[in-house]
Amino acid sequence: MFPRLPPATRALIVANVLMYVAQSLTAQPTQTLEAGWLTELLALQPIGPDFHLWQLVTYAFLHGSIWHIFFNMFALYMFGGALEVYWGVSRFLQYYFASVVAAGGVQLASTWLSGSYESTIGASGGVFGLLLAFGFNFPRQRILLLFPPIPMPAWLFVTLYGVIELFFGVTGIEANVAHFAHLGGMVGGALMMLWWRLEDRLRRSRGPPSW
């Protein structure tokens, strides 16, 4: 089934897996993946001397463990392919990276306001943007949770997930997880869809070109 994935979704998954391998190869045996030089260079660092603009994109191709990358790539596989078929390659990539950059921007603001010096890695910001888009465009599609295995419509799943992330972010539960970045990915995705809607409305209002 994997070869049948649309090209952009497949490329994103392959790129993430290859980067995970590169992280493993560049980290010392006694180090965690987060401590390798490649991860330190490409991870999203707090605003300061170690921050570079490219990190707003590259952080989303890094992961801290096999389970971290597995769940993110599983979500990309489950939701990305359907959205790419629905939108086409161009809009799908615009949307995904808008979510990634927005999540990174929110995380930078969060670390600056909290005085944290923790770096950020993971595709979760882009994935949460995809979750929002899937729930918005396919609201009645049934989703079966893994834990617990309860089916629910996509709109309810996305709503509950967003509320839980907001609760965790505000209360500080699971402080090592970038909950506000996840919400930032959703906000970035929502703004992207709103922009497309405005573009389409302006295009229709202009009517066909006259000759």
- Tell me, yes or no, whether 78 lies in a domain: yes
| Distance in angstroms (rounded) separating the CA atoms of residues 149 and 123 | 24
Domain encompassing residue 123: 2-204
- Tell me, yes or no, whether 70 lies in a domain: yes
- Tell me, yes or no, whether 210 lies in a domain: no
| pLDDT for the residue numbered 133 | 94
pLDDT at residue 194 tops 80: yes
Q: How many domains does the chain have?
A: 1
Q: Which residue has the tokens 């769940």?
A: 71
- Tell me, yes or no, whether 211 lies in a domain: no
31-72 per-position pLDDT tens digit: 566 667 888 899 999 999 999 999 999 999 999 888 889 888
pTM of the model: 0.86
Band of pLDDT at residue 174, cut at 50, 70 and 90: low
| pLDDT for the residue numbered 30 | 53
pLDDT at residue 156 tops 50: yes
| Distance in angstroms (rounded) separating the CA atoms of residues 187 and 205 | 27
118-144 per-position pLDDT tens digit: 899 989 899 999 989 999 999 888 877
151: preceding bond cis by omega (within 30 degrees): no
Pick the closest to residue 94 from 197, 12, 192, 10 (CA basis). Answer: 192
- Tell me, yes or no, whether 209 lies in a domain: no
- Tell me, yes or no, whether 160 lies in a domain: yes
| Distance in angstroms (rounded) separating the CA atoms of residues 125 and 65 | 17
**CATH, residue 23:** 1.20.1540.10
